[in-house]
Amino acid sequence: MSEEDNSVNIENADARSSGSYHHGDLHAAVIAAGLKRLEEGDGAELGLRALARDVGVSATALYRHFPDKEALLDALADEGLRRLGALQAQAWLKAGGGRQGFLAVGVAYVRFAHDEPAVFRLSFTRQMRDRCEPGTDGGEVGYNLLRAGIAQTMPHLDDPEVAALHAWSLVHGVAMLVLDRRIEWDEAQVEQIVGMTFGGVD
């Protein structure tokens, strides 16, 4: 029996015994395991073999989903951006859109960086743009919310794209200052800082 055949047996046996995932969910299970390692501060062990051990399969089984470590890191970074976008979307909806939704999207960005620093750093240090197919960038949700906020709160602007980039630059800068411990995390202060751009234009 080949190593690949054996890996399938290991994978299926683990799925039957733990009930944690089925064959088709291995990709998602590996992503979840990788994000957990990042969150727990074990980012140095993000290799395919380490994650294969975490989910109970052979490393060979993972190569069907991730041809190399670079592909794995790209997938983890993209999922981090998707999580950030989902949190921003929730914040937008909870605030009711408009000016308050725009402000909430910016604060959610900085909060995510504070709460999940390793995931945030990985998500913004991977150079994925050249390897992404159109429409598959996990960061699109958050950036589209910026555009929506600009359209609703600053309809008079001639160049909304520049305004969106300005807003993104602001929250990213604040986030990095928090991560690099140049400023202390203070959500009320972050709301004030972000509000000067996200909520302060009539």
84 touches 123 (CB < 8 A):
yes
Provide the domain limits for residue 58.
Answer: 3-67
* Residue 168, domain CATH: 1.10.357.10
Mean pLDDT by 10 residues, the chain (202 residues): 40 40 74 90 76 88 86 90 92 91 92 95 76 59 83 81 88 95 93 79 42
Q: Are both 148 and 96 inside the same structural domain?
A: yes
151 shares a domain with 92? yes
Distances (CA, A) of 140 to 4, 143, 200: 37, 5, 24
pLDDT at 59: 82
Could you give the 3-state DSSP secondary structure of residue 65? Answer: coil
116 and 43 inside one domain: no
pLDDT of residue 187: 92
Same domain, 177 and 81: yes
Whether residues 49 and 95 fall in one domain? no
Total tally of structural domains belonging to the chain: 2
Do 112 and 27 have their domain in common? no
Q: What pLDDT sits at residue 130?
A: 57
Residue 96 dihedral angles phi and psi, to the nearest 5°:
85, 20
